[in-house]
Amino acid sequence: QRGPRSTKLNGPPSTSRILGLSRELVQTSDMSAVYEEWAARYGPAYEVPLAFGAKKIVLTDPKALAHFYQSERSVYVKTENDRLFIDKIFGRGIVWAEGDVHKRQRKALTPGFSNAAIRRLTSVFYDSTYKLKTLWDTMLETTSDGGIIEVQEWMNRIALDSIGIAGFSHDFHYLDGQNSAVTAAFKALQIAETSFLSKLMFILSLTFPFLMNIPTPRMRLFWELRRSLNVIAERLYANTRSEKDGDVAEELTDQSVIGLLLKAEVSDAEVYMTQEEVVAQINVLLLAGYETTSVGLTWALIELAKHPEIQDELRKELAQFGSGDPSWDQLVSELPFLDAVVLEVLRVHPPIPETLREAIQDDIIPLGTPVVTPSGEVISSIAVAKGSAVLAPIRCINRSEALWGPDAKEFKPERWVEVKKEMKLPAKELQGHHHLLTFHDGPRTCLGKLFALAEFKAALSVLVRNFVFEFPDGPETQLETHMAIVPRPKVVGQTGAKVPLRVRRAE
Ligand code: HEM
């Protein structure tokens, strides 16, 4: 028996009876700007026609978004097709799980991400960045004017080695130039240019999962990545186990996220995980912790290269530590400008640009700002029928002029001084990390938030104190998006996700 129907909302008209607006959604280079335009025209809750008569409800209203994220797991879940895709790539770990299985897995993983755990892991982030500093120092030794360095690749190296060691006591030695099946698969994904057909197949496969079995070059890369991650994950599982049994490297193992996880697995039945689940968590950590942070760090260097005055101000703030490094506590609370730069990078360039969910039961979503329906009725809540797709366009929300003011698209770390003192903008109604939904919110909010923030801050503090970053062709250099696992920046004209910067040693 069908429950109440969804409220009919206004929204952009379909351009194709078969594809709805799917083709436009795939072809548009800046989807967040389109979502913003539609929100300005149709209000902060509207609907978008998709392929084969499907549609999705798009929310930019802060009250609606707070409700949406708080109702994750109980009302809003990942779509079956998303889960099938996640299962194929990541396995059945925490990103795949829903309901009680998710609750149990999250409980088991949580201690690995506590304040105390991250405080202990901060030295790992410093070690990785200093390794890079030593290598760059050697590369730049003979030049007075700096050298051109493709920084995205180096941020990948910091991020992969850091998650390997801090996640499961495994050193990939990627900073040392060592390649592996994992690095090869990630690299191939970054270089591969996605054809329109391949992108369209990918989008359609979320509606028609059988398309995932068609071996497009992109799908083959995903399968290869999964295969290579599994080999590593199983070896790590076995190693950690034998280390634990023989009490070898116990201290190191215990400090990594997976060390704590394995400990929980043997001692607490409530959070018991199968070997398959543990292997899947390693895959998840690798993917969730690697791409997001390396992309975020790359964007940070891009923005600093585009804004030399901001880079100088940050360098000045960091100078107070001389040649020493800020402790974890200092990184967290004694470097307001570093904090502002990091928050601004996460606002303007959220590594995961949107959240798509499906309602597993009927729901009523409250609205802070009423919308007008096609029949002219003014409503302050919308009915959402079981089975409806709901989208939170994070990147659009973070950059929305209606929420963040007319300078919303600009990179201005100084705005955070105001935001933290007294937020006057409509964005103050947004929940999440300092009004940002970049890490989501609610019961499925990013578990690695503290990990990511500590890594960002430690890495940037070392990089900015020691090096100066510039665009070889000036700050007006244009960038575009390259679709890897998450969207990556690339300088226009480069093949693949490349960001070459001129790097000089800071005096
Ligand atoms: C800037 C860096 C990062 C950003 C922006 C970010 C963002 C997110 C987002 C948006 C989600 C929700 C995904 C979804 O359910 O659709 C998520 C989940 C998650 N993240 Fe992060 N993440 C970052 C770094 C990390 C790191 C470094 C780790 C681990 C070391 C991590 C571990 C996780 C885990 C385990 C989940 C699943 C949580 C759950 O489903 O309950 N993340 N992250």
326 and 360 in a single domain? The answer is no
Which of these, 487, 86, 416, lies nearest to 283 by C-alpha position?
86
Least confident of 36-50, 106-120, 153-167, 480-494: 480-494
Q: Euclidean distance between the first and final Cα of the chain, in Å? A: 72
Note down the domain range covering 107: 90-350+438-505
SS3 content of the chain, % helix, strand, coil (to 5): 55, 15, 30
Say what the pLDDT of residue 321 is. Answer: 87
**Cα–Cα distances in Å, from 125 out to 129, 131, 275, 440?**
6, 10, 28, 24
The residues with which 440 forms a beta bridge, in sequence order, are none
Q: How confident is the model at residue 499 (pLDDT cuts 50, 70, 90)?
A: very high
Question: Hunting for tokens 């068609």 — which residue is that?
Answer: 214
pLDDT in tens, 204-234: 665 666 666 777 776 777 777 777 777 777 7
What is the count of structural domains for the chain? 2
453 and 495 in a single domain? The answer is yes
37 and 176 in a single domain? The answer is no
| C-alpha of residue 381 to centroid of ligand 1, in Å | 30
415 and 403 in a single domain? The answer is yes
The token pair at 121 is: 């892991």
**Cα–Cα distances in Å, from 24 out to 16, 28, 269?**
10, 6, 49
Least confident of 64-73, 168-177, 498-507: 168-177
Q: What are phi and psi of 272, to 5 degrees?
A: -55, 135
329 and 231 in a single domain? The answer is yes
8 and 120 in a single domain? The answer is no
What is the value of pTM for the model shown? 0.92
Domain at 211, CATH number: 1.10.630.10
- Determine the residue of 68, 94, 292 to mutate for testing ligand 1's pocket, defined as the one with the most ligand atoms within 8 A of the Cβ atom: 292
Say what the pLDDT of residue 268 is. Answer: 61
Q: How confident is the model at residue 249 (pLDDT cuts 50, 70, 90)?
A: very low
Say what the pLDDT of residue 1 is. Answer: 40
By three-state DSSP, how is residue 124 classified?
helix
Which of these, 278, 281, 283, lies nearest to 241 by C-alpha position?
278
Residue 396 labeled ligand binder: no
Domain boundary among 423, 456, 471: 423
| C-alpha of residue 380 to centroid of ligand 1, in Å | 32
Taking residues 87-115, report their average pLDDT.
Answer: 89
pLDDT in tens, 348-396: 999 999 999 999 999 999 999 999 999 999 999 999 999 999 999 999 9
Ligand 1 proximal residues by C-beta, below 6 Å = 94-95, 106, 163, 167, 284-285, 288-289, 292-293, 296, 351-352, 355, 438-440, 444, 446-448, 451-452
Say what the pLDDT of residue 223 is. Answer: 77
Answer yes or no: is 359 within a domain.
yes
Strands of 389-392's sheet in order across? 45-49, 55-59, 389-392, 355-359, 76-77
Least confident of 55-69, 178-192, 484-498: 178-192
Q: What is the spatial distance between Cα 357 and Cα 182, in angstroms, rounded to a whole number? A: 29
Neighbouring residues of 122: CB distance < 8 A, sequence distance ≥ 6: 327, 328, 331, 454, 458
Taking residues 138-157, report their average pLDDT.
Answer: 92
Domain boundary among 366, 388, 423: 423
The token pair at 241 is: 């186990």
Q: Is the pLDDT of residue 202 over 70?
A: no
Which of these, 66, 70, 26, lies nearest to 48 by C-alpha position?
26
